[in-house]
Amino acid sequence: MSIQTKALIALAIVWFAAMAGMHVFWFEPMTGGLRAPDSRPLGYAADDFAAWQAALGADGQAAFLRWHSGFADFVFPWLLMAALFLAMRETLRRLPRYRHLPRWTQIAVPLALVAPYGLFDVLENGLVADMLTGAVPVNDASVGLASAYTLLKWAFVALALGALFVFRLAASRHARRT
């Protein structure tokens, strides 16, 4: 793997750790231990969201919108998608059958594996921000949609990471045989 890809992966890991720290040491104490919607991989209900929003209060919502939604979680999906895309592409290029595929296919395969994660993370972030600002009402329909985006985001990031793991196993197996 190239040094650039390793650096991008390291940056994504550090960025994720910083966001997790922001949640654990800043937002969760502010809400009495309630977890933010995007850190609930099994989803949440409208009551859960409303309780979290109320516990944040106006100042907490402003801080969340500015530092989490407006900065940290705005950058992270793109950073993780780029890191996963490059890691997959470089790993797959070590496989002879993949190397002989058309260039567009070599780009499309990893892109198809990482793009759904990014799409659902960006949709989730936007909808949560809109509910916090009052642009979208907090009700069963909007929270249900945001929760579905959250579930899909976590499912697709797990799929992308699993695919990368399988690709790396195949590439290392191929390297041992040659």
Whole-Å CA distances, 177 to 79, 171, 173: 34, 10, 6
Q: What is the mean pLDDT of the chain?
A: 94
pLDDT band at 107, cuts 50/70/90? very high
pLDDT band at 138, cuts 50/70/90? very high
Q: How many structural domains compose the chain? A: 1
pLDDT score at 87: 96
| Percent of the chain at pLDDT exceeding 90 | 90
- Are the C-beta atoms of residues 68 and 22 closer than 8 Å to each other? yes
pLDDT value at 150 more than 80 = yes
Query: In the structure encoding, which two tokens stand for residue 141, read together?
Result: 């329909």
- Are the C-beta atoms of residues 69 and 36 closer than 8 Å to each other? no
Cβ within 8 Å of residue 75, ≥6 positions away: 15
pLDDT score at 178: 73
pLDDT digit string (tens) for 49-99? 999 999 999 999 999 999 999 899 999 999 999 999 999 999 999 998 898
Give the ranges where 64-102 is alpha helix by DSSP (H): 73-92, 96-99
Give helix then strand counts, H and E, for the chain.
7, 0
| Percent of the chain at pLDDT exceeding 70 | 100
Query: In the structure encoding, which two tokens stand for residue 30, read together?
Result: 């502010």
pTM above 0.85, yes or no: yes
| Residue 90, domain extent | 3-177
pLDDT score at 175: 82
pLDDT score at 161: 97
